[in-house]
Amino acid sequence: MLFLGRVEIALAISGNLVRMRTGSYPLCNKEEAPPVIRHCVFLRFRDDVPASERQSIYLALEALCAKLPGANAIQWGENVSPETGMDKGFSEGFILDFADGAARDAYLVDAEHQTIARNIVSSTVGGAEGVIVFDMEV
């Protein structure tokens, strides 16, 4: 019998369960995964900012992420939480994973990032009040 999982394969051989690691890091096992910096940004866009403009911000971030060493991944999207009212109006956001704090710090001072950040702030309710940034080591 063969069980396929994300990071391990379990085989039942002669009644004994044998597990083999595939080399991937499971999301739920921090001891094995190298730490990364997860840069979370939550946005409260003004109502007059069209979806096309929001998309262009995310695409610009994606293009920047592809160029920067240590920028591992980017994801963005709308809040889909069923917890009514808990979002405080922050309806969209993006998350960037960096290899380490140095990669994140290089991103923060990058001229292209500064331009995108100004565009974000000018598109959100109350400027900087419409942006929450939360970084954590995961």
Where are the extended beta strands (E) located within the chain? 2-4, 8-13, 16-21, 37-43, 71-78, 92-98, 131-137
Round to whole Å and give the CA distance between 98 and 106: 10
Contact present, 17 and 10 (Cβ < 8 Å): yes
Q: Residue holding tokens 């595939």?
A: 22
Does 118 have pLDDT greater than 90? yes
Would you state the pLDDT for residue 94? 98
Round to whole Å and give the CA distance between 99 and 102: 8
Q: Domains in the chain, please, with CATH? A: 1-29 (no CATH), 37-137 (3.30.70.100)
Contact present, 71 and 98 (Cβ < 8 Å): yes
CA dist list (Å): 94 to 10, 42, 51, 76: 35, 7, 15, 4
Would you state the pLDDT for residue 33? 67
pLDDT digits (tens, 9 = 90+) for 96-107: 999 999 999 999
Q: Is 75 left (phi over 0), alpha (psi -120 to 50) or beta?
A: beta
Q: Name the pTM for this structure.
A: 0.76
